[in-house]
Chain A
Amino acid sequence: MRLRISELCDTLEQDVYNEIQPIGLDEISTSSERIKKIALGKLAYQNIKVESEKVGKLIKRKSVRALLIAAIVICLSCATVFALNNSIFFRQIFGDDISTIENSIQSPRVVVHDSKIKMSIESILSDGYVSYLVVSLEKLNGDKFTIDEKPRFAIHEEPIMKGSSLSKYGTKELKNNIEGGSKKYYSIIASSDTKIIDNNISIEFKGMYKYDDKFGEECTLKSSLSVNINHTDNKNCKYAVIESPQKDSKYYFTEVYISPIGLVIKGKENTVTPEPLMYRIQIKFNNGNTEKISYNSQSGDSMSGSVHRDSGTFSYLFEFNKLKDINEIKSILLNNKEYLFK
């Protein structure tokens, strides 16, 4: 064992070096704001762990899974979450101007891992119906992901509710210049025609796959990790004022809800028919301008979403491709009838 002078200096008295300012204090390129955000995030995560231990939450191993699985259930309702610098990813999803949603982005920083891979839930943006999740995957051995490796995720509502229609679609790799090739970021869009407020969402990572013309689909990294995250309500939304339902008409609306990321129209049919119900939907702005809302990719701001009609109830769900400033939206016209937002 060697003894170094620098090690001897570990026990120098404070008075000896107190007055000596390191050289280059003004030239360092680190940011105190970023350090603050990271430090506060670490303190918050520390608090989450302490609270989890207090209520008896444990790291579980699910013996029914084939490989090593770590499932961490963390209740976030008692913790403070700090918005980290994840706006870069939402700019990739929505464009440069994300001012209407920036305060709504949550950063739970929940992490699970097995011996091969680590999954982190980096951030969530949700209005209760539409949820955007930014998830990262990191190979723990430092190997890089190949360009054709694609992850598989599954999403469930926990606990599973009768009639829950939570579905996942649109996993997309996000550009990331921060990490090396062993860590990738993905956006996952999940939607439900039933508003998820108090339940958790369970995200399951099922492995990496690639498709080869010659050999078909191949699993390159088998894993099964799952994590539950608290899916809290987003207050950045408006409801339309619906008058007493007109029960003498074929159908009537029960709820119209808009957020910067989506629109939900719900109602009931007095007479169930196979005919389409909605033929014209427009939102009207404070300045009098209107914008058509449609699943038709040919028109304006194309949108995705879903329609559910079942046993006399219906719901139309639209995810906006471009963010809407709900403070600028006055009303909605449904089949030429205007409903004001409050």
Chain B
Amino acid sequence: MEDKMLIIGIKKNDEECFKMLIDKYSNYVSVIICNIAGGTMTTQDIEELAADVFVAIWNKAEKIDNRYGNIKPYIGAMARNITKSRLRTLKVLPVSLDDDVIIASVDDVQKKAIESEQKEIINQFVETFSQLDREIFIRYYFLYEKIKKISQHLNVNEATVKTKLSRCREKLKKCLNERGYECET
């Protein structure tokens, strides 16, 4: 069933649509959880958390914009947020990404300023990338995929993936510096 019909069904509390949604996206959600949690969760933990993601989608169905025919990005974002939130509750860190820290020290005022611009900053920034660079960046920093897996999947050697990520970071630092934020060197 198309996503648009699933969204409409879930908004009407149709359990069959809910089950179909889970059938369609359970693997997608599970992989995202697995990547973010690293090796800290068992299969049962991942299934439990995946169920939480789908229940959250059910509970927030009213807020889903069904003008879009595709619910996958919404599910992905929900899975990411719930996993990170659960790991915070358990006082477990998500899998550590190399050079993830872009600004070493941000005071509350700066943090608020960045938050208000964050969406604009990151989306405009990513738009400037080539397709390959964008995919590598998103796989690494959004989907938490490992460099080795990214290189195998894209048929690019690991050194190239690392170089591209490094260049992306430098570009992002330059972008933040231009907006007045002091970044890690």
* Residues of A in contact with B (beta carbons under 8 Å apart): 1-6, 8-18, 20-26, 28-32, 34-36, 38-40, 42-43, 46, 178
In the complex, chain A residues whose CB is within 8 Å of the CB of B77: 10, 14
The list of the 9 closest CB pairs from A to B, nearest first, reads A14-B73, A32-B26, A38-B51, A39-B51, A3-B103, A11-B119, A30-B30, A22-B31, A9-B142
Q: Which residues of B contact A (CB under 8 A)?
A: 15, 18-19, 22-23, 26-28, 30-32, 34-35, 43-44, 46-48, 50-52, 54-55, 58-59, 68, 70, 72-74, 76-77, 80-81, 94, 97, 99-108, 111, 114, 118-119, 121-123, 126, 134-135, 138-139, 141-145, 149-150, 153, 169, 172
Residues from chain A with a CB closer than 8 A to the CB of B145 are: 22-23
Do the beta carbons of A22 and B15 come within 8 Å of each other?
no
Looking at the complex, which one of A9, A25, A34 makes contact with B122 (CB distance below 8 Å)?
Answer: A9
> Contact between B74 and A14 (Cβ–Cβ < 8 Å)?
yes
CB within 8 Å for A17 and B76 given contacts A3-B102, A23-B139: yes
Question: Quick check: A3 and B111 within 8 Å, CB to CB?
Answer: yes
In the complex, A301 Cα to B147 Cα: how many Å? 61
Q: Are B123 and A13 in contact (CB under 8 A)?
A: yes
| Choice from B54, B94, B101, B134 contacting A2 with Cβ under 8 Å | B101
**B27 close to A39 (CB less than 8 A):** no
Chain A nearest CB from B144 CB (Å) reads 7
- A21 shortest CB reach to chain B, Å: 8
Question: Which chain A residue has the least Cβ–Cβ distance from B129?
Answer: A16
Query: Out of A8, A14, A36, which one reaches B22, CB within 8 Å?
Result: A36
Complex: how many Å from CA A178 to CA B97? 31
Q: Can you name the residue of chain A whose Cβ is closest to the Cβ of B72?
A: A18
Residue in B closest to A24 when the chains form the complex, CB atoms: B31
A6, A16, A31: the one contacting B47 at CB < 8 Å is: A31
Interface pair B122/A11, CB less than 8 Å apart = yes
B101 A28 Cβ-Cβ under 8 A: no
* Bound-state Cα–Cα, A45 to B15, Å: 15
Whether B15 lies near A30 (C-beta < 8 A) is no
